[in-house]
Amino acid sequence: MQSIFQYRRFRAQLDAQFERNNGKTKGTSGFRDPNQASSSESSANGEDRDVETGHVLRNIREETEEKEDFPPPPPEDEDESEEEKEEHEGVPTSTLSRTTTQQTEGTALGRTLTGIEVRRRKTNEGGQGSVFVVGYEGPNDPMNPKSWSRTKRFAVTFSVASIGAIVGIASAIDSSAIREASAEFGVSMVVESMATGLFLIGFGVGALFAGPFSETVGRNPVYIVTMILYMIFIMASGLSPNIGAQLAFRFIAGCFAATPLVCAGGTISDIWSPMERVYTFPIFAVSAFAGPLLGPVIGGWIVQSPYLSWRWVEWMTLIMSGLVLGIVALFQPETFPPILLKWKAKHLRDLTGDDRYRAELEIRSDTFLQRLGVALYRPFLLTFSEPIIILIALYLTIVYIVLFTFLEGYDYIFAQIHGTSEGITGLCFVGIIIGLFTSLGLVPIIYKWAKEEMVKVQEQGRDKLDPEFRLWFSMLGGSFAIPISLFWMAWTSRPDISIWSPLASSVLFGYGILCIFITSYQYIIDSYEIYAASALASITMIRYMASGGMVIVATPFYKNMGVHYTLTIMACLSALLTPVPFVFYKYGPWIRSKSKYAIK
């Protein structure tokens, strides 16, 4: 809904731009007002209009020639392509003159409008002649999402963060109902745990498609359509008559729920500058992790209630998802710059009647299937050829395996050792949530350092920080926190030691995972820039498929190995990856210089 209003507002903003740039631009033949007079009225007033048009065109050309950024408009015979000249052969001189004059007037108008780049088409762009590449007027253009007020941008940030939180809740809430669901369907708890595991694997599969679709039709249509489809399959899962139907519906729901994991990071990049992302990206990061942790908290009290069926874990998810969908559909604006500029180009074509106005996205005219093919191929290429992607994917995969095996492992760590009820066991995840928020204490420190570093960078003639600056979140204890917390929890989870000891270690774990997540995403975005969506899709696919598989084996793992050795093994794996951020900080520029896709 908000996107529709936003599209319509673009027309009024363009009218205002014409007024600012050209005064009486609507009088030129290069600008055709849809509400202009009828042909009979035009004939009656033709002489006056010709005089006015001549004055305006002369003003436009004078303004154009005075601009330092644009050369004067080419002569009439140079503005025509060879094909156009051939088409004009044999055409009466008056008609040819009128056609050429209109093209020249259109070119003059295009050169006059701020934010329009008039250039010749390149060979690989197809066609001949000039193209008017549509851009923003400047840094304060109201059409540019980065120019919106902070209030509006924070509202957008919280909106996409709420999407990430709700699909995170959906991914984990079923883990609370494993006993009840497995008893009703007559299957083992391991089989029922696949309802959570397949949802996560669906995340990984869906991540490959969400990015390409959002880059073709915009962020909002993808958010809204995929959320509706995800909710349909959550409802189907709640109505499942057997285990096969439940597993199938949960997997499909996970595929459609993957959108925020890929698109939300893109939305935040659309509206915030790299410097501003230091304090805004953690908002999304907290929600992305808080969702899976709130799932067991909510689900534990639902299944413990004598008045509610276990299926209410799905109904509660559906209700909360409906509220978030309503917020997104009614209030979320479109933020993807190529789509916004495509809207602007469409309005300019309608206003001027000149088809040469094109957004960068439209010039080559690649089909959706072509873009989709490239987008699907590139994540796999990056996965196997980029050491940065390989190491960070491995880093996040270990973190997510630990996090999601806790969905089953907390029953062994707290319920079986300390005798907690299902509701209290779910409440134990609050310790990790507290840890997430403690990591936000680093934000003002790192933001202060970023401003100081930016001054040095600008003195060197550059305009942005090196990607390695993003590693500070992990280096300030984040990389050490995870193995320490896991060793701590492993050897203090005993009946003779207070339950507060493993709970305290979970706070440290929450601190560590958010620091690593912020570092990983921000480092990838800054290192790969235009290829960031493909890189993030690759990392998302790997970590969720791996963690989805581990959720399924978590129950026998904890049951056969025991809490002590299961957590010790995970602590050792995470300890092996502790040097990763330090290695990238020291050797990152050299590694990027050898990469085909990363910035140099």
Ordered structural domains, the chain, with CATH: 2-134 (no CATH), 148-334+366-593 (1.20.1250.20)
Closest CA to 264 of 323, 205, 293, 223: 223
Mean pLDDT of 449-463: 88
Choose the weakest-confidence range: 104-118, 197-211, 397-411, 554-568: 104-118
Confidence band of 312 (pLDDT split at 50, 70, 90): very high
**What confidence tens digit (pLDDT) does each residue in 236-285 have?**
999 999 999 999 999 999 999 988 777 887 888 889 988 898 999 998 89
Q: What does the pLDDT read at residue 182? A: 93
Strands ordered across the beta sheet of 130-134: 116-120, 130-134, 357-359
User: d(Cα 576, Cα 102) in Å, to the nearest integer?
Assistant: 69
Q: What does the pLDDT read at residue 50? A: 42
Half-sphere exposure of 375 (CA within 13 A, CB side): 24
Q: Angle 580-593/387-410 helices, nearest 10 degrees?
A: 150
Mean pLDDT of 27-44: 42
Q: Which residue has the higher pLDDT, 307 or 100?
A: 307
Q: What stretches of 341-491 adopt beta strand conformation (E)?
A: 357-359
**What confidence tens digit (pLDDT) does each residue in 370-386 have?**
766 776 777 778 888 88
Confidence band of 125 (pLDDT split at 50, 70, 90): low
Q: What does the pLDDT read at residue 265? A: 77
Choose the weakest-confidence range: 49-53, 284-288, 311-315, 568-572: 49-53
Instruction: Give the Cβ contact number of residue 365 at 10 Å.
Output: 11
Q: Are 527 and 598 in contact (CB under 8 A)?
A: yes
**What confidence tens digit (pLDDT) does each residue in 69-116 have?**
444 444 444 444 444 444 444 444 444 444 445 455 555 555 566 677
Question: Residue 577 carries which DSSP code?
Answer: T
Helices (H), 186-242: 189-192, 194-217, 219-238
Q: What does the pLDDT read at residue 531? A: 79
